[in-house]
Amino acid sequence: MLAGCGDAEMAGGVKTYYAAMESSSYYEDWARQLGEQAQMQGLEFDVGYAENSVETQDMQMKNALEQGCDVFLCEPVSADIVTELKVVAGDAPIVFINNAPDDGQLEKDHYIYVASDEYMAGQYQAEYILERYGGKDEINIVLLKGPKGASGTKGRTKGLKQTLKASGKRINYVFEDYADYNEETARELMGIFLKTGRQFDCVAANNDDMALGRLQPARRQGLIWAISYFWV
């Protein structure tokens, strides 16, 4: 994204601000990589973590604008507050990432969205599960989803479920909950589920942090299963 701003000489003095959803390892890694790219392009870079608070994200972006922010990289805490964030940003352009606004909120060269194909991510995940369990007519799945209402959560889950359904196999979601892209939350949910003793074939997660989070509880119980996830 930042490479499109031109070389370091042309980009000198441009202040970019990354409005992140929360301070989990997932978003902190994004911030690290964005910061590295900004430095390579000669951009000034700062980041704020809203901790899933609409009010905090609004305040952080206002403060960034007062400090001379020229362009925002923004993961909206909720896609429902995009209009408000555009008002806060004033004339500064916004590159939305990881949580898609409605198409009507976008405007060429001013309000844009950059992301992977969320549906395809879920489709790839389902294809892996079907390949791994091709000999079974019935598959029991634990599904860990991202933040409720997030475009990634909806797209990846839809791609997964529709592809699995189209296979003609009997698909049972023996446990399904929101782990918010968070490794620790996924670990806690997986620990709760394992105590039920219900049988399952695999665990599918909307992102890599949640996939890692479910490993530890299973290892403690000596369980092995195919882990399926798609990183974006």
* CATH number of the domain that residue 74 is part of: 3.40.50.2300
Question: What is the rounded distance in angstroms from the CA atom of residue 230 to the CA atom of residue 125?
Answer: 6
Q: What is the pLDDT of residue 4?
A: 40
Looking at 70, 91, 114, the residue that finishes a domain is 114
**Residue-wise burial string across 23-55, b where 16 or more C-beta atoms lie within 10 A, e elsewhere:** ebebbeebbeebbebbeebbbbbbbbbbeeeee
Q: 4 vs 90, which has greater pLDDT?
A: 90
Task: Say if residues 205 and 180 touch (Cβ distance below 8 Å).
Answer: no
Whether 48 contacts 19, CB under 8 Å: yes
Higher pLDDT, 6 or 62: 62
State the Cα–Cα distance between residues 132 and 128, nearest whole angstrom: 6
Looking at residue 96, its pLDDT comes to: 96
Q: Given pLDDT bands bounded at 50, 70 and 90, which one contains residue 180?
A: confident
Is residue 92's pLDDT more than 70? yes
Over residues 24-36, the pLDDT tens digits come to 887 898 899 999 9
Domain enclosing residue 21, as ranges? 2-114
Question: Which two tokens mark 197?
Answer: 């003793």
In terms of domains, do 108 and 124 share one?
no
Say whether both 90 and 127 belong to one domain.
no
Kindly state whether residues 33 and 104 are assigned to the same domain. yes
| pLDDT in the model for residue 2 | 44
Structure confidence at residue 182 as a pLDDT band (50, 70, 90): confident
Same domain, 106 and 132: no
Report the distance separating Cα 150 and Cα 232, nearest Å: 14
